[in-house]
Amino acid sequence: MGESRQAPSAFPVPFAQRPVIILGAGIIGCAAARQLLLQGFSVVLVAEFLPGDQDIYYASAWAGAVWHAAAGITPDQRYLQAVTHRVMLRMAQDPDSGVSIVDAREYLEQEPTSTSSIWGNTVVSKFREMRPEEYPSNFACAWAYETLVTDPTRHMPYLGRQIQALGGRFIRQRVGALQELYDMFPDSRVFINASGLGSKTLADVQDDLCFPERGQNVFLRTQQCNTMYFRNGQEYTYVIPRPFSQGVVLGGVKQQDNLSPVVDLDITRDEIARAHRLAPEIVPAHPPEDAISHIIGIRPSRKGGFRLDSQSQGSRTLLSAYGFGGGGYAFSYGIADALVKMVERTEREHVIL
C-alpha cells in the first residue's frame, strides 16, 4: 500500500530494542529512567555513583529534600515543579518511597512579590496565611500549608529497585566524555546527559557555567519530625523533618567553590542556633552531641539556572538535563516528564522517516 521505503542501514537495531542511554544516576537520571521505563522504553544508566552510594559529589544522597516552590523561576519551570509534586504525592502512599506529607510553616522576612515563592499556593494543600499572633513578630507574614519531604536514604534505593524491576540496567563507570557513551552504544539514538556537576569537566561538554556549591547540614535525632519550618529571607534557614529517619535536617548554607569534605563546626553551631530561633520547640539551644550527625554534599549548580534542551547531532540526539543546584528533588519528576516528551518527539523523527 502506498510508497514503500527502504529502512536506512544506519538503524540496525529495531526501535523498541534501542536503549535510551542516560549518563548519571542521581535523582534526575533515575527519575527520567523510571518515567521512560514506565512508557515502555528500554533504558541503560551509566554512572560513577549509583543509588545507595554516599559520596559528597553525589548530591542526590544528601538533599533535604523538601518540595518548596522556587522563587524567580519562569511559568514553565513552575509547572515542572508542580508535576513533581503530583508524582511525589502519589508516591507518598508507599512508605518504601521515603516520601512523606508534612505540615509546613514558612516565615517571610519581607512581604512576597509576584516572583516570590507565593505561586506555590496553587500546588500545595491546605495553604493559608497565618494570623500575626501565630508567628514571631519580627516577620512580615507567614504561611501554613502541607508539603512533601523526601528521605533520600530511602528514595534513591527505592528508585534503584524500581528501575531494575522495570527492566532498566545500571552500569557503574566513570566516563571522560559523552563520546565514550556513543562508542559504547553505537545503535542508540537518544542520549541524556544528567551528570550534574560532571558537565563541567566532561571533555565534550565543559560547561563553564556549572559550579560546585557546598552544603553542610545538621541531622538532629528527634521524635518531633512532622513539621517543616522555613525562614524565607536574609537568614535563610530550614528545619526539614525526616519522619522515616526519626529526625530533622537543620540548614542551610551555600558555599560556592568550596569542596571540603570536612565538617566545619562553626557552621554546625550557627545552623543549630538559627534553627533554634526558628523552631525552639523542636531544636534545643544545645542538643546532646550523640543526637546530632553531619550531612555534607556538593550541589551541582549552574549560573543562569539549569539546562533542559535537545541538540541534534547527525543521527543522534543529545538531551541535556543538569545544573539543578539546590532544587533537583523539587524539579525531578517534572524534568523526567519533560524528558519523556522530548524522547518521544525525537524517536518519532527517527521512526516516521
Tell me which residues touch ligand FAD (CB under 6 A).
23-29, 47-49, 58-60, 62-66, 174-175, 194-196, 198, 202, 215, 217, 295, 297, 299-300, 322, 324-330
Q: Shortest approach of ligand FAD to residue 41 CB, angstroms?
A: 19
326 among annotated binding-site residues: yes
- Which one, of 314, 139, 300, lies nearest residue 210 by Cα? 300
SS3 248: strand
Identify the H or E element spanning 192.
strand 190-193
Residue 238 labelled as part of a binding site: yes
217's CB contacts (< 8 A; 6+ apart) are 62, 64, 249, 250, 251, 252, 271, 294, 295, 296
Place of cell 553542610: 216
* Cα gap 113→185, rounded to integer Å: 48
Closer residue to ligand FAD in complex, CB, 13/305? 305
Residue 277 in 3-state DSSP? Answer: helix
Site of grid cell 534526575 = 28
CB of 292 to ligand FAD, least distance (A): 15
**CB nearer to ligand FAD: pick between 13 and 253:** 253
CB of 10 to ligand FAD, least distance (A): 27
Return the number of the residue (19 or 26) whose C-beta is nearest ligand FAD: 26
Indicate the SS3 state at residue 170: strand
Q: Where on the phi/psi map is residue 273: left (φ > 0), alpha (ψ -120 to 50), or beta? A: alpha
123 is in an annotated binding site: no
- Lookup: cell for 140: 512580615
Other C-beta atoms closer than 10 Å to the C-beta of 56 total 18
Residue 291 near residue 168, CB atoms below 8 Å: no
Measured CA to CA, the distance from residue 153 to residue 65 in angstroms comes to: 10
SS3 141: strand
Angle between helices 27-38 and 328-351 (to 10 degrees): 50
Cβ-based nearer residue to ligand FAD, 138 or 176:
176
CA distance 126 to 99: 18
User: Which whole-number Å values give the CA distances from 184 to 48, 132, 175, in the listed order?
Assistant: 15, 61, 11
Closer residue to ligand FAD in complex, CB, 260/315: 260
Asked if residue 172 belongs to a known ligand binding site, the reply is: no
